């Protein structure tokens, strides 16, 4: 089990675009992260008294990035960027993640291939209540620079 890293250490992002508050754990199959919704949360909407639930898609994508980053670091490699390609069936059971809510985000790798394509099964929980379940498709090439310049 991989633990002990700050969220800033496992993500290729920088503030203010780090939306997660805490990296909890990862292993070769999954990662867990935490988000505490507050008025200081990115994308907080005072009119909603929370964060719109569609932002949960980015919470899931960043949890996948934390999974990859933690595993890279555990293998002695650097954190690398990847690409979010798409999502299937993102249907939240709420429209807003309310202020004061603590969310746990889980990403479990279902399929991966040698090209860098992967599918993750992701969930967002408030305590033990499932709020969102979705499948995310991602891509992490060996050389991301070539993909950004083409």
Q: Which pair of tokens denotes residue 30?
A: 């999954």
Would residue 108 count as lying in a domain?
Answer: yes
Nearby residues of 10 by Cβ (< 8 Å), 6 or more positions away: 23, 26, 65, 66, 69, 70, 73, 79
Question: Domains in the chain: how many in total?
Answer: 1
Would residue 87 count as lying in a domain?
Answer: yes
Other CB atoms closer than 10 Å to residue 42's CB: what's the count? Answer: 12
* C-alpha dist (Å) from residue 36 to 1, 48, 77, 98, 100: 23, 16, 29, 10, 7
Would residue 2 count as lying in a domain?
Answer: no
Spatial strand order of the sheet with 22-26 comes to 22-26, 30-36, 102-112, 117-126, 129-139, 83-88
Would residue 51 count as lying in a domain?
Answer: yes
Q: CATH number for the domain including 50?
A: 3.10.129.10
Q: Please give the residue range of the domain that contains residue 42.
A: 7-149
- pLDDT tens digit at each of 150 positions of the chain: 999 999 999 999 999 999 999 999 999 999 999 999 999 999 999 999 999 999 999 999 999 999 999 999 999 999 999 999 999 889 999 999 999 999 999 999 999 999 999 999 999 999 999 999 999 999 998 765 665 666
Residue with tokens 């990403």: 107
Counting every residue written for the chain, the total comes to 150
Would residue 1 count as lying in a domain?
Answer: no
Angle of CA points 79, 52, 10, to nearest 5°: 10
Q: What's residue 142's pLDDT? A: 78
CA distance 131 to 57: 12
Residue 86: CA count within 13 A, CB half-sphere: 3
């Amino acid at each position: 089990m991989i633990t002990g890293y700050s969220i800033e250490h496992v993500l290729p992002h920088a503030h203010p675009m780090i939306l997660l508050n805490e990296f909890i754990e990862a292993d070769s199959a999954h990662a867990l992260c935490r988000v505490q919704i507050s008025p200081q949360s990115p994308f907080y909407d005072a009119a909603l008294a929370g964060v719109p639930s569609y932002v949960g898609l980015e919470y899931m994508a960043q949890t996948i990035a934390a999974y990859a980053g933690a595993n890279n670091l555990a293998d002695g490699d650097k954190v690398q960027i990847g690409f979010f390609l798409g999502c299937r069936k993102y249907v939240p059971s709420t429209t807003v993640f309310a202020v004061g809510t603590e969310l746990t985000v889980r990403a479990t790798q279902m399929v991966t291939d040698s090209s860098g394509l992967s599918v993750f099964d992701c969930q967002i929980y408030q305590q033990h209540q499932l709020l969102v379940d979705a499948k995310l498709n991602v891509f992490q090439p060996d050389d991301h620079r070539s993909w950004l310049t083409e």
